[in-house]
Amino acid sequence: MIREAIAGSVARKIDHAYIPVQSVASDHYVLSARLSSFAAYYEQGPDAAPIIRIAAQVELSRSKESEPLAVTRIVLDRTASANSVSSIVEAFDRASLEMADKIASWTAAVIN
């Protein structure tokens, strides 16, 4: 889900970007995102709407180079509208798309 969201956001924000399915052609940018959190936290108690937290370490490099061009950590907290399955799923969806947009914007800023 996150991979598709990131690919879609990158495609919308960076017109000269290409997200390969499997292999990387020579001398292209390589974007990697490692999620360290993708969870609902009930910090206000078990009956309150949870906080959706997505955290990722994002790295941009060139396929021919071993050192990254840039690295960042993005943390996104969003509170669900209610403590119900549908509200929590919706909050995860919105947070995932927002995270993907943040990653795409950061990537565009590094490339440009």
Please give the torsion angle defined by the CA atoms of residues 18, 23, 26 and 29, in that order, rounded to the nearest 10 degrees.
40
Query: Is residue 19 over pLDDT 90?
Result: no
* pLDDT, position 24: 47
**Tens-place pLDDT, residues 27-71:** 688 888 888 999 999 999 999 999 999 999 999 988 777 788 899
Helix/strand/coil (H, E, C) string of 62-94? Answer: ECCCCCCCEEEEEEEEEECCCCCHHHHHHHHHH
Percentage of residues in the chain with pLDDT exceeding 90?
A: 58
